[in-house]
């Protein structure tokens, strides 16, 4: 990860928000809290608060809609986190899912060998040991006996749940190649150097899709390019600036043990370029290994070619938490409205935790009752907020800060003609419209279909 370009300017010429500011906002407004805070926190683990959980669900749903529900060639799956330990022998993770570690002989701290620049301890300058391989999988035991026969692992990627179900899917779903299987779920990695807020944690969520194709390098190249472009477009379509994204093909020496070729989609975080999503050509590596270790026939019968083979795989693997971080970073903005500074999260309305806030201008004249009635009308359609505390300007700014795209204001006129004002978060422009038209107008503006 390079830090050379960390002082990037947003397209409006504003510097990107610092991580510190974003973490502060997330805590203050209940998006993300440090986990186990009352005990001093557990390093690099985070809890999503009431607004954060909505945002996270929206990120996952946006992915699921695009990758599963809107397509006819991809199906979903939800496999268990605990899997048979043989899975990890077959997948190669037991042997190869390691990071090289060095210890400082003086202060005893541990570092990833590839992250120590000059061979001395980055903390105290002490001498380092030779690198040793450290497996990143979390180990546990199934049942009451804590011995090696009962050892199990928390999955370090969701993908293996898809590969071990390949036979079940062929047997129960009528599929022809190419087809994909998608899954969202928690993964665990005992990272040596977690950090940068929710960028790298030991418990995180992944959105992975395994796309099965005939074993043919030409088709592989074509589909790989297709998926790289589609995934890049997904981020842009949901609010990431194109110039904050770049593609980085892996060199031969850094490929994962299962990969025939990998390209990362990188994002420009405040600390520099870092991975957002990885796209890998996994070939038939996983199905071959599971066939060998399980003794099951994991071949596909190609009706047209009248042959059996194990398909090749293209995998776009994204992180929910990293995507959420990138969406927040690019949405964060500060501007001046009516001579007052405000913080505004310009989130895509589909991702925004709350779609509309209903605000009575005054707490009298029946406006409160009317506002609650309007809220009750909107709430079955999308998450809404209600706020009657403080000046109207302050209430708008509270909503801007958490990315609520629209505020619906009930005023004196509402009481006589059943119209409200609708204020737009980004432009702060207001229009007047009938209460009866609100749901339709807001659904249209959210643009679910985009
Ligand atoms: P890195 O090089 O940053 O360690 P990786 O190449 O090991 O990541 P993959 O195995 O390709 O990551 O996992 C796919 C995606 O899962 C990543 O692009 C990232 O979004 C997410 N991810 C992986 N590890 C973590 C982690 N420790 N914390 C949060 N997200 C993660």
Q: Which of 307, 302, 321, 252 is nearest to 281 (CA)?
A: 252
- Whole-number Å distance, alpha carbon 117 to ligand 1 midpoint, is 22
- Predicted pLDDT of residue 161: 98
Q: Please, which residues have CB within 8 angstroms of residue 86's CB and are 6 or more apart in sequence?
A: 293, 294
Phi then psi for residue 202, to 5 deg, are -90, -25
Q: Is 322 in the pocket of ligand 1 (CB under 6 A)?
A: yes
H/E stretch holding 245 reads strand 245-249
* Alpha carbon of 147 to ligand 1 centroid (Å): 30
Atom of ligand 1 at shortest range from CA of 191 = 27
* Residue 14: per-residue pLDDT: 56
The pLDDT value given to residue 117: 79
Q: What confidence score (pLDDT) does residue 9 get?
A: 47
**What's the full length of the chain, in residues?**
450
- Domain boundary assignment for the chain: 3-84+155-328, 354-446
Distance CA 29, CA 359 (A): 19
pLDDT per residue over 78-120, tens digit each?
999 999 999 999 999 999 999 899 999 999 998 889 888 788 9
What is the chain's pLDDT, residue by residue, as a tens digit (450 residues)?
Answer: 333 343 444 445 556 899 999 999 999 999 999 999 999 999 899 999 999 999 999 999 999 999 999 999 999 999 999 999 999 999 999 999 998 999 999 999 988 898 887 889 999 999 999 999 999 999 999 999 999 999 999 999 999 999 999 999 999 999 999 999 999 999 999 999 899 999 999 999 999 999 999 999 999 999 999 999 999 999 999 999 999 999 999 999 999 999 999 999 999 999 999 999 999 999 999 999 999 999 999 999 999 999 999 999 999 999 999 999 999 999 999 999 989 999 999 999 999 999 999 999 999 999 999 999 999 999 999 999 999 999 999 999 999 999 999 999 999 999 999 999 999 999 999 999 999 999 999 999 999 999
Instruction: Judge if the beta carbon of residue 387 lies within 6 A of ligand 1.
Output: no
Decide: 101 and 133 in contact? Cβ < 8 Å: yes
Ligand 1 neighbour 200 (Cβ under 6 A) = yes
Q: How far apart are CA 114 and CA 119, in angstroms?
A: 10
- Cα 447 to Cα 237, 348, 406, 450: the distances in Å are 12, 10, 13, 6
Mutate to test the pocket of ligand 1, among 46, 115, 160, 204 (most ligand atoms within 8 A of CB): 204
354-446: CATH number: 3.40.50.800
Q: In CATH, which of 3.30.930.10, 3.30.460.80, 1.10.3720.10, 3.40.50.1000 is domain 3-84+155-328?
A: 3.30.930.10
Per DSSP, what are the bridge partners of residue 407? Answer: 357, 423
Domain 3-84+155-328 shares a fold with domain 354-446: no
Instruction: Give the pTM.
Output: 0.94
| pLDDT attached to residue 114 | 84
Tell me: the pLDDT tens digits for 41-79?
Answer: 998 999 999 999 999 999 999 999 999 999 999 999 999
Pocket-testing residue among 134, 262, 264, 278, ligand 1, by greatest number of atoms within 8 A of Cβ: 278
């Amino acid at each position: 990860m390079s830090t050379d370009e960390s002082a990037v300017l947003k397209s409006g010429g504003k510097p990107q928000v610092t991580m510190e500011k974003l973490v502060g906002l997330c805590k203050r407004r209940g998006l993300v809290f440090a986990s186990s805070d009352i005990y001093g926190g557990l390093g690099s683990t985070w809890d999503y608060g009431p607004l954060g959980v909505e945002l996270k669900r929206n990120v996952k749903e946006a992915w699921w809609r695009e990758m599963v529900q809107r397509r006819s060639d991809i199906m979903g799956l939800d496999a268990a986190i605990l899997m048979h330990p043989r899975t990890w022998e077959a997948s190669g993770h037991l042997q190869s899912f390691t990071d090289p570690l060095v210890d400082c002989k003086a202060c005893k701290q541990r570092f990833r060998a590839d992250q120590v620049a000059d061979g001395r301890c980055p903390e105290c300058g002490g001498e380092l040991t030779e690198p040793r391989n450290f497996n990143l999988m979390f180990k546990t035991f199934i049942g009451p006996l804590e011995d090696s026969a009962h050892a199990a692992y928390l999955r370090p990627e969701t993908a293996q749940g898809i590969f071990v179900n390949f036979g079940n899917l062929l047997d129960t779903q009528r599929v022809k190649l190419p087809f994909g299987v998608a899954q969202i779920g928690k993964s665990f990695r005992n990272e040596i150097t977690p950090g940068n807020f929710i960028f790298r944690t030991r418990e995180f969520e992944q959105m992975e899709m395994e796309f099965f194709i005939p074993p043919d390098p030409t088709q592989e190249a074509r589909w790989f390019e297709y998926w790289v472009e589609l995934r890049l477009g997904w981020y842009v379509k949901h609010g990431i600036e194109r110039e904050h994204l770049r593609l980085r093909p892996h060199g031969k020496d850094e490929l994962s043990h299962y990969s025939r070729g990998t390209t990362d989609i990188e994002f420009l975080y405040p600390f520099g370029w870092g991975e957002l999503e990885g796209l890998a050509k996994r070939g038939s590596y996983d199905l071959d290994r599971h066939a060998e270790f399980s003794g099951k026939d994991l071949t596909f019968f190609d009706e047209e070619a009248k042959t059996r083979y194990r398909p090749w795989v293209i995998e776009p693997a994204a992180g929910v938490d990293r995507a959420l971080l990138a969406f927040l970073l690019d949405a964060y903005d500060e501007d001046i409205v009516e001579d007052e500074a405000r913080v505004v999260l310009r989130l895509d309305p589909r991702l925004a935790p709350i779609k509309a806030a209903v605000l009575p201008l005054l707490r009298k004249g029946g406006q409160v009752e009317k506002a609650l009635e309007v809220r009750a009308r909107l709430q079955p359609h999308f998450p809404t907020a209600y706020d009657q505390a403080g000046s109207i300007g302050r209430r708008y700014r509270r909503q801007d800060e958490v990315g609520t795209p629209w505020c619906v204001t009930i005023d004196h006129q509402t009481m006589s003609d059943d119209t409200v004002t609708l204020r737009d978060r980004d432009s702060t422009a207001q229009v007047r419209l009938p209460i009866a038209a609100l749901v339709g107008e807001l659904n249209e503006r959210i643009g679910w279909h985009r």
